[in-house]
Structures are given as C-alpha cells and as structure tokens.
Amino acid sequence: MSSPTSRRNSGRGSVCGRWASSECHARRRGSSFSYFSSGAQTEDFSVSLNQPIFTITLRFLLAIDLWLSKRLGVCACEEAPLGGIRPLVRLVEFSGHVIPWLIGTVYTLLRGESVEEQEIMLNLALALLLDMLLVRVVKTLVRRRRPAQNRSEIFSTFFVERYSFPSGHATRAAMCARFILAQLVDTASMRVLVVGWAALVSLSRLLLARQYVTDVGFGLAMGYCQYSLVERMWVTWDCLQDLLLMGLRERLNRAYSGLWMADWKH
C-alpha cells in the first residue's frame, strides 16, 4: 500500500502534468494563430497563389538562369576555380570586341585589291554599325544589370556598357560568323573554325561572369537574324557610286543655282 505522502506527490505530478500540457497546447495555438495572422506572411502566401502561370514560369526560368550563370563563372577572378586561364579567356573575349573588327574591316576596305573585296568589306562595316545600333537600343530598353561577380578591368571600364541584355559579343560573333560563312569561306575546315570561334567568344562571356546565360542565348539568336537583314539591305559598289554621284550632283546644282541667283541680283 502506498503512503499518504506518495499519494500527494502523485496527485501533484498529475496536476502539474495536466497544467504543463494545457500550457503547451495554448502556446501552440498562440504560435499558430500569430503565424497565420501576420500580415506579411499571409500576404506573400496569397500573392504566390494568385500569380499567373506565366509569371511563375518566368521567375522559375530566371532562377535557373541566375544559378547556371553563377556556376559557369569559373574565371570571374584570379581566385575562381579556373582563374589561372583567365588571361587566355580574356584574349578570346577581345577577339569578339567591336574595335578590332571595325579597324580590320576599314583597313581591308581601304587596301582592297578588287571591287568584290571592297564591296564585301563595305557591307561588313555597315553590318557592324547596325549591330552596335540594335544592341544599344535593346540594352537601353531592357536595362538589365550585369552579374554581381563581374570584375571590371581598365579596358572594360572604358569600352564595356553597364547593361547586360543582350550580349553584344554574342550578337557580333553570330552575325560575323554567318557573314564569313556566306561570303568568304568555302572549305569545311574553315567553317568549323569559324563556328568554333563564335562559340568560344560566347562562352567566354559566361566564364568571365560578364553576362547571364539568357543574355548570350538571345544575343546569338539576334545576331543570326541580323545577317538576314544585312543580306536584304546589301549595298553593291555600283549602287554606292550612284548614291555618291547623286549626292555630289545635287550639291553642285545647289551651288550653281546659288551663284546664278547672286549674279541675277547684281
């Protein structure tokens, strides 16, 4: 038989147990109530449910774009996993810059030995100017910032725009590659080299964390379509001479009419 003291202790324990369980239950109810009654959390939950499927899909794709771009930026700095090959990747990147392309095109245009060569270089120069114009317009409209891990050098500070979408290197690489394949290259080995160069230039922008994957992908598609526009607007050498002669003739006629009016007034 149990003593009165043990009975009293067991009664107190049962009472304390019931009181602790009720207090714990009240705390659970209070915490759950505070969780569901908080305005920010319920609002975020309702917004996520009320978003259209297009917005949800777009955010999901952008999240994948950010994650993949960050994983590919292995040459973003010297401390990166592949920072040792950063100078080589930057050299490939420079081969797709607009400045060497414009200088080389203008030099070949001025030193061209045949009319056909000068005509091709003239249209290539016009294509490069068109590419710069279209890329600048799209970048100004979109205004997407570059990745946070992008590291600016002295050269990029002066010649690289602050906006990221689309990639000017990718548009230029795709357009120039298609231009060269259509106008200058006729062997299989050279075609492989040109396509490989365009792919490496586009990949260098991702390895250096200059731009996002969507910037490069859209830039390649945009540059591929730009050559179709250049092909439709192809300027022949005879047409250019006619335009220059027409402009010179109009200026001479204006000057002659001005002199004739001045003599008539006297």
Q: Tell me how crowded residue 198 is: count the other CB atoms within 10 A of its CB.
A: 25
What is the per-residue pLDDT across 28-51, written as a single tens digit (0 to 9) for each?
444 333 333 333 333 343 445 567
Pick the closest to residue 215 from 161, 165, 174, 163 (CA basis).
Answer: 165
As a whole-number percent, the residues of the chain with pLDDT over 70 amount to: 66
Helices (H), the chain: 4-37, 39-50, 53-72, 86-94, 98-110, 115-142, 154-159, 168-183, 188-207, 213-232, 237-265
Residue 104's pLDDT is what? 92
Phi, psi of 196 (to 5 degrees): -65, -40
Q: Is the pTM of this model over 0.85?
A: no
Q: Tell me how crowded residue 251 is: count the other CB atoms within 10 A of its CB.
A: 10
CA distance 102 to 112: 15
What residue segments make up the domains of the chain, in order of their start? Answer: 66-246
